[in-house]
A and B are shown apart, each in its own frame.
Chain A
Amino acid sequence: MEHGSTTTGGKGSLERYRQMEAIMTQHEAALLRYANRIVGDAHLAQDVVQNAFVKLFAGWKDGTRPSDKLKTWLYRVTHNEAVDLIRRESRLQVLHQAHAEEKAAACPDGQHCAANGNEQFETVLRHLRRLEPLERQVLLLRLEEGLSYAEIAAVTGRTTGNIGCVLHNAVTKLSKILAK
């Protein structure tokens, strides 16, 4: 269960390789998307997802096959890896942030700036990042990843009802901020 997998018995390592390939292909896009949202950097997201997969396959013997918990397990590990990474790099992130703000300040007229077309979306994302980590996690998992409440509950280790509450709070908070 722990790796979202069950062991059945030995087969060739080619089989294992094929499985790994399949699992990666199936989940990598979603995990990268998710990790990218958390760490905010495509390269770091690659690191995160790579680590998550390494963790998965380190315990993946021949004959292991994915169980239905694999998806939520991967999201959970990816999330933790991402949070670890952020914590590790928090100082650097602060630098990044300062850099980004400098950049934003550099185009006061709001024109000739790279992200000008997506101003509104950028605003939404900025507010999204302001949410509580759990709220953000739930919001992303639901709205972007399309996980069901039960799956989100499995990822976050909370109850399904609580997820509904958290999501509603997050949305209400966002709509209040955005309506200002």
Chain B
Amino acid sequence: MKCENIRLLLTSYLTGEHDPALKKTVDEHLETCCDCRASLQKIRSTLDLVQGALAATQKAPSRLAPDRRLRVLSTRPAAPVSWLTRHRPMVSRIAAVLVAGVVVISLVSWQLDKVTRESLEQFGGAPPSTARLLWETICGRGNMFKLSDMVGGASAPASASFYEPKPVVGDEMSVSGTPAGWQHGEPLLDQQSSSVSQPATIEGRSYATTPETAAGRKRAGSRSSPLQEILPQGDKGEVREEPLARAESIDNLEMPADPAASPGFGGGTAGFGIGSGSGDEEPGFEMSPVKSPLVMHGLYASRRAGGSVTTGRPEAGRDSDVGMGDDIDEKTETHDDETVAAATIAPAPANEVNVTGIMTDESERSDKYQERSWGLDAGGSSVPAKAKPKAAAPTRLTARTEAPEKSMSELATQIEDGREPGAAVAPKPVEPDARILGGKEEDNSRVDSVAAVGYNSPINRDGVPVLGAIPALGRLFREDRAVSTTEDAEGGERRHTAALAGVSTHSKELREGKKAPSDWISGELDQVVTLSGKDITYEEDADSRSSPLQAQDASAANGGRSYSTPAEKAAGETKSGSRTSDKRGWPGNTKIPYRPINASGRVPTSEPEPAGPVFKAVGMNPFVITRTNQFSTFGMDVDTASYTLARNYMLKGFLPPAESVRTEEFVNFFDYTYKPPTDKLFAIYADCAPTPFARGLHLLKIGVEGKRLARDAKKRAVLTCVIDTSGSMSEPDRLPLIRRSLNLLIDQLDPADSIAIVQYDSHARLVLDQTPIAQKKAILAALDSLQTSGSTNLEEGMREGYKLAARRFVPGAVNRVLLLSDGAANLGSVEASQILTAVESFRKQGVYCSVFGFGIGTYNDEILKALASKGDGTYAFIDSMEEAKRVFVEKLTGTLNVIAADAKIQVEFNPDRVKRHRQLGYEERQLRKEQFRDDTVDAGEVGAGQSVTALYELELDGPRDGKIGTVRVRYKNTGTGKVEEFERAITQADICHTFEATDSRFKLAAGVAEFAEILRGSDYAGGIRYSDVAAVLRPVALELNLDFRLQELVRMVQGASSMPRAPAK
């Protein structure tokens, strides 16, 4: 399906009104189309906003007011009238037809009358009084005689004799019937109504009676005959008015008769929904269309007087005693004068009183409005009374809802201010200079983290500083993307100086397009990029030591601008600070004491041998120019310990040591919900979008998801737990937590699986030989028997554990040693390397090692990570029951069932599209390009259902076609033992054009990675604050609110800016 079609479905898709097939189509399309995802995101946020607004501003009461409730409940079914009321349109239609018939007949008779009179005039006879003629016509001769007797008029009998009886309509209607009706009406009539001229139609003939007659009639009514007054009053002038009056009466009657004709009740015009067919909708008699301008005021007045709008129920009161036909007749008679109708109702049954009661307040109000709208109506002469307000209603409605125009820009700013999710993360324009100086107002985290960099300025073997190692340069790289110094052949000193002093100049040059940004770098990078990862050695160098001073000199000379960046400070401190360990020869020297720097930037004088946790510092992956090296190769890593460690630190109120932060472990801690593959062992996913944290850079997220195993595909597990029970393990977050964690693990294992327990403190002891999980009690008892004491002899513990595992080796099963320890090992480097060698050799025989760290105090992150890495196992740090649950329950299958060994990922970038690239994290897992196909190289292990996420920062360039790169995965399938490799291209379709348009998991990855980068003091994260990261993560946490870890992360990020670094112990 095409994008346009899909987009039409998105709202329904979000509101969940799709049949599954269509939903699947949309799902499939969304996976491939980033633009549609963006639209979806937009619609989703709009929906959220509207829903939020609706929820927040709802002020409606939840219940009807008690008095209204009572009124509703006292509604009685209007039984006898129900048919009429419910079929009112039909009734009105019939009435209209009848009335129209009557009117036509009377018209005809009037015409005849006129003709006769004219012919009479021709004969020369005295024309009779029109009123008399009329009366004759109506009442017939007999009546007339009787009347003339009563009146005693002289000419009546004579004129009557002129005419033969004409076709007389409604002869049987006795005049005396009318007064009977009046009598009812009388009590409610007031002077106002009677003073208005009221055309009274009798049997289809209209009398335009003058006020005098009406008043007279009123009086006469009580005397039972209004006719005496009518007769003498009648003259020609009055009769001429007849057609007009009649015409009005037709109008009036026809309006309610045809709801479709009166726009108010038609469905179409106003868009109010109900079609004319909806007969159940009453035609609203209270808005009664029966209003000719002539009688309006009279009507209005009478309503007032009656205190009831009567809701058009003239029938209600009378239906019982008057027949249908009569009803209509009477209506014909009285429809212009609702006073009568109201009067008729007044004595009606008790429920009418209720109606009146309900209506009083409303009717008063609506009377007022009616008055107004009538004023309007009077202007529109031929428009039926209802038409005008009806037609006007929609427009007025719109007019009313017109908002003040000011809102637009305001809204825009609001959204910019970050109330709108994602809006705040728009790349900020930060000048390069400002960025460099940005360090000044930085928190201490920057200071000491940069110090760490200063410590370890990576130098390649030729003694040339690696790009990332020169703090200022590194920064320039990120900010400026093309740091150019004029001298590239000069020594490091010179370069530093030039770089710092020349920031403004070269950026100017850049702007003017004088320099090709990558020109000068490439030469140097030729050397550097090939030395990625493990080849980078960390050395102290005269250059980097002396450079800050040089730089400061230069800056002082350069317009007195202060370049006291943290990096330089740190470098200065490095120089002055005591260096205790020799950093030459990286692999051999594994310990770098962590030396925290407090807020003032001073290095605290601490004892050379640290008692605190031990972390190994690694450098940052630098930016690599694609033309010089288009490959990025690394081993997969599914560990998450670094994040948990950091969390543990931060819960205690400190930032984690910069060295303990590994970006990839932060990123991999979170679940990105990749769809697991069904056919292959791995599925590769790629997303790319501009990063909100650096101008002009794209973030590429590559996800590799391992296949999930069905239950029967799981192998039997033979586990050997090596538990550290040294004195340091007695704290609640260590041995007790280990016990509870193992309880979880045991619950997860199958009864056929078995477990053994080895404990070690000063010496190692076998606590429990391999015991099937079926004998759970024995295992738990063994666990409970563990006591802490003594020192930590990790070496012996591991040896004992492996010995047992080898003895109880079960071919075809998962043979795994689980080390549970706080990592405090009284080890020399020799012993450490011995253990590692042993672990590696055991791995080759099929006994693997997983490591679980507990407790932070004397934690040796480095040795534990090395063990897990050598043992082809996972490494997790467990600081709480939640984490234990995550590791031993949710991720257990992955932990135990490795589906791929030595899994490696290689990304090949297309140099035409990608100018330069930098991988976030995986520093320790870097491989050389050619190692990708070298199957002897140890790389990462991936368990069933585990996923690996790698992030790259890219600078894209060139035409928007052509692929961006290729991702290759190579691994040894542990099921078949064969090495497999497959690839996936990253194409333009994977690129989202805005960060906001990306899905929330992408935003999460970007935020987490940046958080880690800041925590570890990456040069590439300069100028980015925790609050920026929080701004990105907050909406994500809201959106994925089921994941409690996210909320925790957001709290961590928000709190990070006010935390000091963890103090040395």
Instruction: Enumerate chain A interface residues (CB-CB to B < 8 A).
Output: 2-3, 17, 20-21, 24-25, 28-29, 32-33, 35-37, 42, 45-47, 49-50, 53-55, 57-62, 73, 76-77, 79-80, 83-84, 86-94, 96-97, 101, 104, 118-130, 132-134, 137, 139-140, 142-144, 148-149, 155-157, 164-165, 167-168, 171-172, 174-175, 178-180
Whole-angstrom distance from the CB of A36 to the nearest CB of chain B?
4
Residue of B nearest to A49 (CB): B64
Whether A54 contacts B396 by the Cβ 8 Å rule is no
CA of A165 to CA of B10, assembled, Å: 10
Whole-angstrom distance from the CB of B896 to the nearest CB of chain A?
45
Given known A-B contacts A90-B396, A121-B52, A29 and B63 have beta carbons under 8 A apart: yes
What residues of chain B lie closer than 8 Å to A46, measured between beta carbons? Answer: 61, 64-65, 68
Residue of B nearest to A126 (CB): B403
Residue of B nearest to A163 (CB): B17
Stretch at the interface among B43-51, B185-193, B667-675, B785-793: B43-51
Extra pairs beyond A54-B71, A59-B77 (18, CB < 8 Å): A20-B72, A29-B62, A32-B61, A36-B60, A58-B78, A60-B75, A73-B280, A80-B273, A93-B396, A97-B400, A97-B402, A123-B411, A130-B398, A140-B54, A171-B43, A172-B43, A174-B50, A175-B46
**Can you identify 9 A-B contacts, CB atoms within 8 angstroms?**
A29-B60, A29-B63, A45-B60, A59-B78, A61-B79, A157-B267, A167-B11, A175-B46, A180-B411
5 tightest A-B contacts by CB? Answer: A129-B401, A36-B60, A126-B403, A2-B280, A175-B46
Q: When each residue 393-413 of chain B gets 1 if its CB lies under 8 Å from chain A and 0 otherwise, what string results?
A: 110111111111001101110
Centre residue among A54, A92, A132 by max chain B CB count within 10 A: A54
What residues of chain B lie closer than 8 Å to A49, measured between beta carbons? Answer: 64, 68
What residues of chain A lie closer than 8 Å to B71, measured between beta carbons? Answer: 50, 54
What residues of chain A lie closer than 8 Å to B680, measured between beta carbons? Answer: none
CA of A126 to CA of B54, assembled, Å: 11
Given known A-B contacts A79-B273, A139-B50, A157 and B278 have beta carbons under 8 A apart: yes
Residue of B nearest to A110 (CB): B410
Instruction: Enumerate chain B interface residues (CB-CB to A < 8 A).
Output: 8-12, 15, 17, 42-43, 45-47, 49-54, 56-65, 68-69, 71-73, 75-79, 82, 85-86, 264, 267, 270-275, 278-282, 284, 287, 358, 362, 365-366, 369-370, 372-373, 389-390, 392-394, 396-404, 407-408, 410-412, 414-415, 419
Whole-angstrom distance from the CB of A32 to the nearest CB of chain B?
5
In-complex Cβ contact of A57 among B77, B272, B402, B404 (8 A): B77
Whether A157 contacts B275 by the Cβ 8 Å rule is yes
Residue of B nearest to A3 (CB): B280
CA of A89 to CA of B367, assembled, Å: 11
In-complex Cβ contact of A130 among B53, B392, B393, B401 (8 A): B401
Whether A33 contacts B397 by the Cβ 8 Å rule is no
Residue of A nearest to B65 (CB): A46
Whole-angstrom distance from the CB of B289 to the nearest CB of chain A?
13
Whole-angstrom distance from the CB of B302 to the nearest CB of chain A?
20
Whether A47 contacts B362 by the Cβ 8 Å rule is yes
CA of A45 to CA of B42, assembled, Å: 33
Given known A-B contacts A29-B62, A46-B65, A84-B284, A58 and B75 have beta carbons under 8 A apart: yes
Whether B43 contacts A119 by the Cβ 8 Å rule is no
Whether B53 contacts A90 by the Cβ 8 Å rule is no
In-complex Cβ contact of A180 among B57, B287, B412 (8 A): B412
What residues of chain A lie closer than 8 Å to B399, measured between beta carbons? Answer: 94, 97
Whole-angstrom distance from the CB of B310 to the nearest CB of chain A?
15
CA of A143 to CA of B15, assembled, Å: 8
Q: Which secondary structure dominates where chain B touches chain A?
A: helix
Given known A-B contacts A32-B60, A133-B397, A134-B273, A126 and B407 have beta carbons under 8 A apart: yes
CA of A159 to CA of B403, assembled, Å: 31
In-complex Cβ contact of A90 among B11, B282, B393, B415 (8 A): B393
Whether A53 contacts B411 by the Cβ 8 Å rule is no
Q: Which secondary structure dominates where chain A touches chain B?
A: helix
CA of A96 to CA of B396, assembled, Å: 13
CA of A15 to CA of B392, assembled, Å: 44
In-complex Cβ contact of B57 among A79, A125, A139 (8 A): A125
Whole-angstrom distance from the CB of A44 to the nearest CB of chain B?
10
In-complex Cβ contact of B53 among A47, A59, A124 (8 A): A124
Whether B273 contacts A90 by the Cβ 8 Å rule is no
Whether A157 contacts B56 by the Cβ 8 Å rule is no
What residues of chain B lie closer than 8 Å to A84, measured between beta carbons? Answer: 284, 287
Whether B414 contacts A120 by the Cβ 8 Å rule is yes
What residues of chain B lie closer than 8 Å to A134, measured between beta carbons? Answer: 271, 273
Whether A171 contacts B401 by the Cβ 8 Å rule is no
Whole-angstrom distance from the CB of A134 to the nearest CB of chain B?
5
In-complex Cβ contact of A54 among B54, B75, B398 (8 A): B75
What residues of chain B lie closer than 8 Å to A148, measured between beta carbons? Answer: 17
Residue of B nearest to A53 (CB): B72
CA of A59 to CA of B273, assembled, Å: 22
In-complex Cβ contact of A89 among B86, B369, B408 (8 A): B369
What residues of chain B lie closer than 8 Å to A96, measured between beta carbons? Answer: 400
CA of A63 to CA of B42, assembled, Å: 50
CA of A125 to CA of B411, assembled, Å: 12
CA of A137 to CA of B271, assembled, Å: 10
Given known A-B contacts A59-B86, A94-B396, A120-B414, A53 and B75 have beta carbons under 8 A apart: yes
Whether A144 contacts B54 by the Cβ 8 Å rule is yes
CA of A12 to CA of B411, assembled, Å: 58
Whole-angstrom distance from the CB of A144 to the nearest CB of chain B?
5
Whether A157 contacts B60 by the Cβ 8 Å rule is no
CA of A70 to CA of B1014, assembled, Å: 60
Whether B57 contacts A76 by the Cβ 8 Å rule is no
Residue of B nearest to A105 (CB): B404
What residues of chain B lie closer than 8 Å to A167, measured between beta carbons? Answer: 11-12, 15
In-complex Cβ contact of B73 among A20, A139, A172 (8 A): A20
Residue of A nearest to B275 (CB): A157
Given known A-B contacts A21-B73, A88-B366, A137-B273, A171 and B11 have beta carbons under 8 A apart: yes
CA of A54 to CA of B1018, assembled, Å: 71
CA of A49 to CA of B69, assembled, Å: 10
CA of A134 to CA of B75, assembled, Å: 31
Given known A-B contacts A127-B403, A172-B43, A118 and B57 have beta carbons under 8 A apart: yes
What residues of chain B lie closer than 8 Å to A126, measured between beta carbons? Answer: 401, 403-404, 407
Whole-angstrom distance from the CB of B355 to the nearest CB of chain A?
9
In-complex Cβ contact of A93 among B47, B52, B400, B410 (8 A): B400
Residue of B nearest to A83 (CB): B272
Whether A121 contacts B47 by the Cβ 8 Å rule is no
Residue of A nearest to B408 (CB): A180
Centre residue among B15, B267, B399 by max chain A CB count within 10 A: B15
Whether B271 contacts A50 by the Cβ 8 Å rule is no
In-complex Cβ contact of A87 among B45, B274, B390, B398 (8 A): B390
Whether A2 contacts B86 by the Cβ 8 Å rule is yes
What residues of chain A lie closer than 8 Å to B73, measured between beta carbons? Answer: 17, 20-21, 24, 57
Given known A-B contacts A90-B389, A91-B372, A118-B56, A80 and B411 have beta carbons under 8 A apart: no
Residue of A nearest to B358 (CB): A54
Given known A-B contacts A61-B79, A90-B400, A168-B10, A178 and B86 have beta carbons under 8 A apart: no
What residues of chain B lie closer than 8 Å to A157, measured between beta carbons? Answer: 267, 273-275, 278
Whether A174 contacts B46 by the Cβ 8 Å rule is yes
Whole-angstrom distance from the CB of A178 to the nearest CB of chain B?
6
Whole-angstrom distance from the CB of A62 to the nearest CB of chain B?
8
Whole-angstrom distance from the CB of B1004 to the nearest CB of chain A?
24
What residues of chain B lie closer than 8 Å to A90, measured between beta carbons? Answer: 389, 392-393, 396-397, 400
Whether A149 contacts B396 by the Cβ 8 Å rule is no
What residues of chain A lie closer than 8 Å to B400, measured between beta carbons? Answer: 90, 93-94, 96-97, 129
CA of A132 to CA of B60, assembled, Å: 22
CA of A165 to CA of B282, assembled, Å: 30
CA of A61 to CA of B8, assembled, Å: 46
What residues of chain A lie closer than 8 Å to B401, measured between beta carbons? Answer: 126, 129-130
What residues of chain A lie closer than 8 Å to B64, measured between beta carbons? Answer: 24, 28, 32, 46, 49-50, 53
Whole-angstrom distance from the CB of B421 to the nearest CB of chain A?
12
Whether B271 contacts A132 by the Cβ 8 Å rule is yes
